[in-house]
Amino acid sequence: MNLTLRQMRAFSVVARTASFTLAARQLNLTQSAVSMLVQQLEDELGLKLFDRSRHAVTLTEGGQQLLPLARRMLDDLRQIEEGASDLRLLKSGVLRVVAPQLMACTWVAGVLARFEQAHPTVGLR
């Protein structure tokens, strides 16, 4: 499975706004790009996340169950980004990172690798 952060953000914003058009504006993307990201996520998951009609977008039962998990993951990643931002000025120290296993294996690993290269005197745990 190859889920992306862009897909998760698109899913979360479409769910919040109940609109692909409004989500596209908030994400600074085209409506078709947002639709494509959500479709890719649905394909990866093998699960329909939204019921779409001409005038409405509503979460399916599966979408309702996955939305809190996606939001928590996005919040966790935002906290990691904020923590790294706060530590950019550090010359030395220790950064302790806790993340769900899926995030640790995918997005967090890349962020921490770049952080470690930029800040070799800051230990990572």
Task: Encode the chain (125 residues) as per-residue pLDDT tens digits.
Answer: 889 999 999 999 999 999 999 999 999 999 999 999 999 999 999 999 999 988 889 999 999 999 999 999 999 988 888 888 777 776 667 777 777 777 666 777 777 788 878 777 777 77
Q: Yes or no: say if 50 and 63 are a contact pair by the CB < 8 Å rule.
A: yes
Domains of the chain: 5-124 (1.10.10.10)
- 0.85 exceeded by the pTM? no
What dihedral angle (degrees, nearest 10) is formed by the CA atoms of 111, 115, 116, 118? 140
Where would I find the beta strands (DSSP E) of 21-111? 50-52, 57-59, 93-95
- 96 Cβ neighbours under 8 A, 6+ residues apart: 125
* Phi, psi of 95, rounded to the nearest 5 degrees: -110, 120
* Phi, psi of 124, rounded to the nearest 5 degrees: -115, 135
